[in-house]
Structure 1
Amino acid sequence: MTAASEEHPGNLSMAEKAYLAIRDRLIMLDIPPMTAIDDAALARSLEIGRTPVREALKRLEIDRLVVSYPRRGTFATAVDITDLAYISDLRVHLEPLAARRAAEIAVDADLEEIGGLVDQLDGMDFRSMARDEVMRWDLHVHRTIYHAAGNPHLEDTLIRYDNLATRIFCVFLDRMQDFDSHVMEHSALLRAIGSRKPDKAEQLAREHVLNFDKAMRSLV
């Protein structure tokens, strides 16, 4: 399932809907790290059967968002800052690749969405926004770029690692003094993609990942 399919929830199975809903709670830390997950209670809160929830939890274990232990149950994974090095090692190569490809091959519909995002970002005051709203904007921008790159395998891989990075971001967001400038880096990146400047887009995407890594490490 790609970002494109996520935009059309009416076309999704119950298991896919459960997967997206639970994943969102895990990414945003609404299900705190290391919390035991009660699949029955989760099913009731989502108004979805337990079978789709269990299927979703199996997928989320592959995503490293939950972990299951024999006779103990399923838990939200810990947010470990030491994982940042591994995540960044992948993102610093894949994010620039996606940005370059998006600048080279994005179709008109993607370019129109990218232009709309730039207009919205330029008019936003992120410091006045709630944490979840800031995080959702960050996720939306990244997913738009991944989709515009036109490679569903690259898109799925980047979504998985961006989700893990976002959990780390959520943990430290309240301690960041300039989180708004980090989010506003997206504006220049989107402009480079929208104006079909692959070299510039690649450079800005790499800098964005490195800046994020540096900012998170400075808070430890």
Structure 2
Amino acid sequence: MSVAPVSTGESESMSEHAYKLLRDRLIMLDIAPGEPINEGRIATELGVGRTPVREALKRLETDHLIVSYPRRGTFAAIVDIGDLASISEVRVLLEPLAAQKAALNADDDLRSEFARLAEEIARLGEDGDHGALLEYDLAVHRLIYRATGNPHLAETLIRLDNLATRIWCLVLGRLPKIGGHIREHIALLEAIIAGREDEAAELAREHVRHFESTIRAAL
């Protein structure tokens, strides 16, 4: 059965859908580091054509989440623990800026979203499912980046946070509890909601430093 061609706008929408699904699988290591990426199989799994998948894969390579080799194929990028210092070096500068701008720029709707996340995180137990806890971590950071109003800052931080999360997932089995790290977001979110930009910046800085020290302790 032939499939009718889609409009450019719809194609872009399917490409974005494919990109986000694959990105999150790669971040959470549901697609294991070094695993081959089969374009046709992914297209079938996602129910989209090969063109949106191909466009998504190009973006994922730019994000350093996949690598392509001539005549060998495409693979999920290896997680390099050695990247932790370089990633943290940039995040410790940009995460405080993002938190500060979010505290200054977030509108009422965004502040309501921050409040909802803070309430949900406050109800989490220390021994919650690691996957669910990590999803809250990603949700908080992505919302902060969106609230900055600066798409270039947001894009840079999303890529760095994604790479940091892959490192976290790699050592997750060596960490007895991560609930405390996730609950650190509550004070940060409250500072952003209240518009206390300096406090938000400092809390974000300490959060990044604590993340790096936690990973190094696990190693």
With normalisation by structure 2, the TM-score equals 0.92
Aligned partner of 2:44 in structure 1 is 44
Larger Rg: 2
Work out the CA distance in 2 between the residues paired with 1:12 and 1:52. 7
Which residues of structure 2 form unaligned runs of 5+?
A: 1-9
Q: Is the 8 A contact 1:126 1:134 kept in 2?
A: no
Q: Which moved more, 1:119-128 or 1:44-53?
A: 119-128
Quick one: which amino acid aligns to residue 181 of structure 1?
A: G
**In structure 2, the residue corresponding to 1:82 is in which secondary structure?**
helix
Give the superposition deviation at 1:149: 1.3
**In structure 2, the residue corresponding to 1:178 is in which secondary structure?**
coil
Aligned partner of 2:215 in structure 1 is 216
The number of residue pairs the alignment matches comes to: 210
Residue 157 (structure 2) pairs with residue 158 (structure 1): yes
Give the superposition deviation at 1:43: 1.1
What per-residue deviation string (whole Å, max 9, x for no partner) do you get for residues 9-60 of structure 1? x996111111111111101111100111111111111111112111111110
After TM superposition, the structure 1 = structure 2 runs for residues 78-157 of structure 1, keeping only pairs within 5 Å, are 78-129=78-129, 131-157=130-156
**In structure 1, the residue corresponding to 2:127 is in which secondary structure?**
helix
Work out the CA distance in 2 between the residues paired with 1:59 and 1:197. 35
Q: Label 1:190 to 1:12 Cα distance change in 2 as closer, same or farther (>3 A).
A: farther
Give the superposition deviation at 1:174: 2.2
Work out the CA distance in 2 between the residues paired with 1:85 and 1:69. 27
Work out the CA distance in 2 between the residues paired with 1:19 and 1:123. 31
Aligned partner of 2:178 in structure 1 is 179
Give the superposition deviation at 1:128: 2.7
Quick one: which amino acid aligns to residue 127 of structure 1?
A: D
**In structure 1, the residue corresponding to 2:119 is in which secondary structure?**
helix
Identity of aligned residues (%): 52
Which residues of structure 1 form unaligned runs of 5+?
A: 1-9
Q: Is the 8 A contact 2:11 2:52 kept in 1?
A: no
Quick one: which amino acid aligns to residue 37 of structure 1?
A: I
Q: Which moved more, 1:184-193 or 1:115-124?
A: 115-124
Runs of 4+ in 1 over 6 A off after TM superposition: none
With normalisation by structure 1, the TM-score equals 0.92
Give the superposition deviation at 1:98: 0.3
Aligned partner of 1:3 in structure 2 is none
Give the superposition deviation at 1:104: 1.4
CA RMSD of aligned residues (A): 1.4
Aligned partner of 2:200 in structure 1 is 201
**In structure 1, the residue corresponding to 2:117 is in which secondary structure?**
helix
What per-residue deviation string (whole Å, max 9, x for no partner) do you get for residues 173-204 of structure 1? 22112311111100010011111111110000
Quick one: which amino acid aligns to residue 135 of structure 1?
A: L
Give the superposition deviation at 1:120: 1.2
After TM superposition, the structure 1 = structure 2 runs for residues 20-39 of structure 1, keeping only pairs within 5 Å, are 20-39=20-39
Aligned partner of 2:6 in structure 1 is none
**In structure 2, the residue corresponding to 1:13 is in which secondary structure?**
helix
**In structure 2, the residue corresponding to 1:68 is in which secondary structure?**
strand
Work out the CA distance in 1 between the residues paired with 2:38 and 2:29. 16
Work out the CA distance in 2 between the residues paired with 1:161 and 1:138. 13
Give the superposition deviation at 1:210: 0.5
Work out the CA distance in 1 between the residues paired with 2:191 and 2:60. 33
**In structure 2, the residue corresponding to 1:37 is in which secondary structure?**
coil
Aligned partner of 2:7 in structure 1 is none
